[in-house]
Amino acid sequence: MSRVGLAPVQIPSGVTIEFAGKRMTAKGKAGTLSMTFSEDVDTKVEDGHLTVSLLGDTIRARKLWGTYRALAQNIVKGVSEGYKRELQINGVGYRAAIQGKDLVLQLGYSHEVRYPVPEGIKIECPTQTEVNISGVDKQKVGAVAADIRSFRPPEPYKGKGIKYKEETVLRKEGKKK
């Protein structure tokens, strides 16, 4: 039995949810997102809450019940507040800047790395060593942050590279003489 699926999704004020068959569309101050639910689960909107329930007692339905409830929660939070990931750049000469619609990273390679900003994502560089990624879709924000981090992941000896702000890099001891 899914404990996640039992909890109803709170719908904040300013967010409207519409259903067209199994397709849910949520609109809020941050934007609009939609998703399609499986045929194994049923959804209802009552008293400012979205509930996801089982249609049949199959193994597949029980697997998807909590998943679809969590996805609906992410959509509701995304259209009301949005999601944000913060990256830090450590290293001598490593820096980031926005040029037009591209994020330009200088990471110690012989060339600069240009990353085109995807549609629906906003990237800011408050300083040369910070990159803030924000958007409505949680999956897309996380994927863009992971892509940018993959250009130069933090290394354990000097801590150089791109890391998430809340990430801690376990440092290793260097060579001994």
Domain edges within the chain: 3-80, 83-164
User: pLDDT tens for residues 22-78?
Assistant: 999 999 999 999 999 999 999 999 999 999 999 888 899 888 999 999 999 999 999
Residue type, 4: V
Residue type, 13: S
pLDDT exceeds 80 at position 1: no
3-80 and 83-164 share one fold: yes
User: Tell me, what's the pLDDT at 20?
Assistant: 92
State percent of the chain over pLDDT 90.
83
Handedness of CA 137, 139, 140, 142 (dihedral sign): positive
- Distances, alpha carbon 171 to alpha carbons 24, 41, 155, 158, 174, in Å: 46, 47, 8, 7, 9
Helix pair 59-80, 138-150: axis angle to 10 deg: 80
| Domain 3-80 = CATH 3.90.320.10 | no
pTM of the model: 0.89
User: pLDDT tens for residues 81-135?
Assistant: 999 999 999 999 999 999 999 999 999 999 999 999 999 999 999 999 999 999 9
User: Tell me, what's the pLDDT at 91?
Assistant: 93
User: Tell me, what's the pLDDT at 63?
Assistant: 87
Q: CA 22 to CA 142: how far, in whole Å? A: 26
- Distances, alpha carbon 108 to alpha carbons 80, 86, 115, 135, 145, in Å: 39, 21, 16, 29, 19
Using DSSP bridges, classify how beta strands 130-135 and 9-10 pair: parallel, antiparallel or unpaired: unpaired
In CATH, what class is 83-164?
alpha beta
